[in-house]
Chains A and B, each alone.
Chain A
Amino acid sequence: MRIDSPAAGAVTATAERIRGADILAAVRRAGIATVVSVPDIVTSDGLLWPISRDPSLAHVRVCKEDEGVSICAGLACAGRRALLLIQHTGLLDSVNALRAIAVDYGTPICMIVGLQGLEPDREPPRSASLGVRVVEPLLDVLGIAHARLGARGDEAAIEPAFDRAYRDWMPYAFIVTRPPV
Chain B
Amino acid sequence: MMRRDHCLRILAARVTDQIVVPVFQAAFDWLAIKPDGLNYTAVGAMGQASSHALGLALGRPDKRVIVLDGDGSLLMNLGSLVTIAGVAPKNLVHFVCENDTYEANGGHPIPGAGRVDFAGLARAAGYRGAHDFADLDTFAARVDEVLHAEGPVFATLRVVAGDPAPQDFAALHSLEARRAFVERLRAV
Contact = CB atoms under 8 A, between A and B. Distances in A.
A74 B56 contact: yes
Contacts of A58: 58
B148 interface: no
Contact of A67 (B58, B59, B80, B175): B80
Interface in A57-72: 58, 60-64, 66-72
Interface stretch (B82-90, B96-104, B155-163): B82-90
A29 interface: no
B79 A67 contact: yes
B185 interface: yes
Interface string B157-188: 00000000000000001010010011001100
Given A78-B55, A97-B48, A70 B83 contact: no
A73 B58 contact: no
Contact of A74 (B45, B52, B175): B52
Given A62-B83, A71-B51, A97-B48, A104 B43 contact: no
**Interface SS of chain A: helix, strand, loop or mixed?**
helix
Interface residues of A, number: 30
Contact of B185 (A62, A77, A106): A77
**Interface SS of chain B: helix, strand, loop or mixed?**
helix
Contact of A64 (B52, B57, B60, B79): B79
A77 B56 contact: yes
B77 A67 contact: yes
A12 interface: no
A104 B48 contact: no
A97 B44 contact: yes
A80 interface: yes
B40 interface: yes
A150 to B, nearest CB: 30
Given A70-B55, A77-B56, A97-B48, A105 B42 contact: yes
Interface in B49-84: 51-60, 77, 79-80, 82-83
B79 A100 contact: no
Nearest to A101: B44
A79 interface: yes
A70 B12 CA distance: 25
A105 B58 contact: no
Contact of B55 (A66, A74, A96, A106): A74
A66 B48 contact: yes
B80 A74 contact: no
A64 B84 CA distance: 12
B45 A97 contact: yes
A82 B173 CA distance: 22
Contact of A105 (B77, B82, B173): B173
Interface in A80-119: 80, 82, 96-97, 100-101, 104-106
Q: List 10 A-B pairs, minimum CB-CB distance, nearest first.
A: A74-B55, A78-B59, A63-B79, A100-B44, A70-B51, A101-B44, A71-B55, A74-B56, A70-B48, A75-B55
14 contacts: A34-B58, A60-B87, A66-B45, A68-B51, A69-B51, A70-B51, A70-B55, A74-B51, A74-B59, A76-B55, A79-B59, A100-B44, A105-B175, A106-B175
